């Protein structure tokens, strides 16, 4: 076998690999270009979380896009579907105040462990002035028995009682409307 034939046989596998690599690269570029050509897809309407459109009045100095409350809402929404667990305060299971404590802790604030303790730590405000990330309190007779994280437009995320899971709900629901006792805002120290 001549020296030129040996070189040619050695180059054929290399040439075949380079052709395959070039074809793979061309496919990747085509997929990338096709992806860029498509417009952004919006989430399904049911998945959208409403954002308040009215600006807070003078009695509500918190901006709508407050990073603390944004982080609280983000964390709480990630926990939707986690089972209810009495005394629970981790993603393995939550009760109502455990969910609130966990979401605020993830945003860098420590809160009391119970709904009553969180009610005492919150600055009261009218529901009309509440923004996403504020707290909603509910009572059972004369005591604060439940707490939720407000999302805006009457909606909230919470860990309802036993047998359920972290979920979204609405103040328009008869039970929550009749047991609603007030809204509160956690104001960071300093």
- The residues annotated as belonging to the active site are 96, 146, 158
- Dump the DSSP string for 106-122: HTT----SSHHHHHHHS
Residue among 69, 148, 152 nearest 108 (CA): 69
Return d(Cα 94, Cα 187) in angstroms, integer: 23
Look up tokens 């509910």; give the residue.
138
**C-alpha 119 chain-centroid distance:** 22
117, 122, 123, 129: CA torsion to nearest 10: -130
């Amino acid at each position: 076998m001549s020296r030129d034939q040996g070189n040619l046989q050695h180059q054929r596998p290399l040439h075949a690999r380079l052709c395959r690599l070039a074809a793979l690269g061309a496919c990747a570029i085509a997929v990338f270009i096709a992806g860029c050509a498509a417009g952004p897809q919006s989430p399904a309407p049911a998945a959208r979380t409403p954002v308040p459109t009215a600006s807070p009045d003078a009695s509500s100095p918190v901006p709508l896009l407050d990073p603390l409350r944004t982080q609280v809402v983000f964390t709480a929404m990630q926990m939707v579907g986690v089972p209810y667990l009495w005394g629970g305060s981790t993603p393995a299971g939550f009760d109502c105040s455990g969910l609130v404590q966990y979401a605020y802790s993830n945003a860098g604030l420590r809160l009391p462990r119970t709904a009553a303790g969180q009610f005492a730590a919150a600055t009261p405000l009218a529901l009309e002035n509440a923004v996403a990330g504020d707290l909603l309190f509910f009572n059972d007779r004369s005591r604060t028995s439940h707490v939720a994280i407000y999302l805006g437009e009457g909606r909230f995320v919470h860990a309802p009682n036993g047998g359920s899971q972290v979920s979204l709900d609405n103040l328009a629901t008869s039970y929550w409307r009749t047991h609603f006792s007030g809204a509160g805002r956690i104001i960071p120290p300093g």
